Structure 1
Amino acid sequence: MRKILLLILTISTLFSCGEEVIEKPINLISKEKMIDILYDLAIINAAKSSGPSVTENTNFEPMEYIYNKYKIDSVQFVTSDLYYASLPLEYEDIYKKLEIRIVKEKERFIKSGERKKDSLIKAKQD
């Protein structure tokens, strides 16, 4: 009996993960654009947390920057984020793609730094 109950609970949980809990917003931000927005937010937050920055010495508002750059408003961003969060597989896909993008950019910066270092060493040897 317990096994049957556990099986029913597991199956219903799996099916509920695919259901659309929140109605799709009319002005839903595309997944690709959402990844771009989240990437920019990650870069801004990393810059802010790495120490005193330009953002502290100016009137820079990260969210206003995002809204202007992507021509969206706070309601559109929040409703789109909430919609994707209600679909765990979609949300996971967005964050996996975001992570891949961040890792690729990090690798690119590391390689760029290594090339500069190598060229400086070569210049000193000449």
Structure 2
Amino acid sequence: MKKLILLFTLLLVGITSCKEEGPKKPKHFIEKNKMVDMMYDLSILEAAKAQNIVYQNNFPTAKNFLKKKYNVDSLTFAENTKYYASDLKEYKKMYETVKARIDEDIKKNNGGKPIAPNNDAGVVR
């Protein structure tokens, strides 16, 4: 009888724990277009920092940048990132939009020509 009760309890716990509920919509929700803009700006900021290692102290931190430009604190950004990332297909589309904007900027700043892919990236010779 004890085994039957244990089996029933485990089965009940297993069934109820399999609910897939994504994170709730954040209290301070950021609209998708604004979130994509923020992701784009942070990508540009991080790329600039990576290119100018000596001058990294001159660049704002991501936290300060978000606060100053978008009036959004880092916790709100993190909660919204978690919310959007719970739908991987949609989150991937958001990053593809960011990549397309970066590629468009590169092309515009490169005389209308896209930059040729570097197949040797990351290869030490």
TM-score category of the 2 structures, normalised to the smaller one: 0.5 to 0.7
Which residue of structure 1 aligns with residue 108 of structure 2?
Answer: 108
What is the TM-score when the length of structure 1 is the normalising length?
Answer: 0.65
1:26 deviates by 2.4
Structure 1 unaligned blocks of 5 or more: 1-18, 114-126
Which residue of structure 1 aligns with residue 117 of structure 2?
Answer: none
Which residue of structure 2 aligns with residue 6 of structure 1?
Answer: none
Give distance in 2, aligned partners of 1:54 and 1:102.
22
Which residue of structure 1 aligns with residue 46 of structure 2?
Answer: 45
Q: 1:45 to 1:35 in 2, by over 3 A?
A: same
Structure 2 unaligned blocks of 5 or more: 1-19, 114-125
Report if the CA contact (8 A) 1:20-1:86 is conserved.
no
What is the TM-score when the length of structure 2 is the normalising length?
Answer: 0.66
1:112 deviates by 7.0
Q: Of Structure 1 and Structure 2, which has the larger fraction of its residues in helix?
A: 1
Give distance in 1, aligned partners of 2:48 and 2:59.
15
Which residue of structure 2 aligns with residue 93 of structure 1?
Answer: 93
| Two-structure CA RMSD over aligned residues (Å) | 2.1
Q: 1:48 to 1:60 in 2, by over 3 A?
A: same
Which residue of structure 2 aligns with residue 84 of structure 1?
Answer: 84
User: What amino acid is the match of 1:71?
Assistant: N
1:39 deviates by 0.9
> Could you tell me the percent identity over the aligned residues?
32
1:72 deviates by 0.8
User: What amino acid is the match of 1:28?
Assistant: F
1:63 deviates by 2.1
SS at structure 1 position matched to 2:36: helix
Which residue of structure 1 aligns with residue 64 of structure 2?
Answer: 64
Give distance in 2, aligned partners of 1:83 and 1:100.
22
Q: 1:55 to 1:108 in 2, by over 3 A?
A: same
Q: Which runs of 4+ in 1 moved over 6 A?
A: none
Give distance in 1, aligned partners of 2:55 and 2:27.
36
Which residue of structure 2 aligns with residue 36 of structure 1?
Answer: 37
SS at structure 2 position matched to 1:23: coil
